[in-house]
Amino acid sequence: MPYRAGLGYLVTSAQIANTGAPINIFTVTGLVCVTALFSRIAVASGANACGWEHDPTVGTASQPLCATGDINVGVVGDYVSITETAGVATLTTGGAVAMLTPRKYILPAGILTWANAAADGGLIHNIMYIPISVGAIVTLV
C-alpha cells in the first residue's frame, strides 16, 4: 500500500458496479484520519444519487459523511469527491478531485459504504488515510 507524504496511505478498489443498494467498500480497523476519499468513473451512470456512509463497529449506527450527489453529470474518467456548499459536505462530480475539501474525517473502526440509488455505472474508489491508533489500517472489504 503506497504512502504519500502529508496524505498518508492509499487504498484503491477494483472497478465496482453500482447495485442500487449500499456497497461495503472499505474496512477501517483502529482509529484513522481520512485525508481524501474519491472515486473515478469507469462506467458512466444515468440518474444516480450517491454518497458515503460510515458504520462504526461501536457506537451510533451508520452515519453519512456527506449529502448525496447525482453522478449522472460525470463522464468516464471524471472524479467523484466530497466538497462543501453552503456549509454542507456534498458529493460532487467533475474533472478534478476536491481533495482535502471540506474537512478531514476521524473514523473509528467500522465499514465505509458507498450508497447508490441505481444499478447503473461503475467506479474505482480510493481512500487516503493516516493511522492514529497503533495498528490502525484501512483495507478493502
Q: Is residue 140 part of a domain?
A: no
Q: Is residue 141 part of a domain?
A: no
Q: Is residue 48 part of a domain?
A: yes
Task: Check which CATH number belongs to the domain holding 103 and give it.
Answer: 2.60.120
The DSSP symbol for 67 reads B
75-127 pLDDT, tens per residue? 999 999 998 877 788 888 888 877 655 678 999 999 999 999 999 999 999 99
Residue 100 pLDDT: 57
118-137 pLDDT, tens per residue? 999 999 999 999 999 999 99
- Half-sphere CA count of 41, side-chain side, radius 13 A: 26
The residue segments making up the domain with residue 22 are 3-133
Burial string for 58-69 (b: 16+ CB within 10 Å, else e) reads eeeeeeebbebb
Q: Is residue 19 part of a domain?
A: yes
Mean pLDDT check: name the lowest of 5-19, 33-47, 76-90: 76-90
Q: How many domains does the chain have?
A: 1
Q: Is residue 42 part of a domain?
A: yes
Q: Is residue 8 part of a domain?
A: yes
Question: Full-prediction pTM beyond 0.85?
Answer: yes
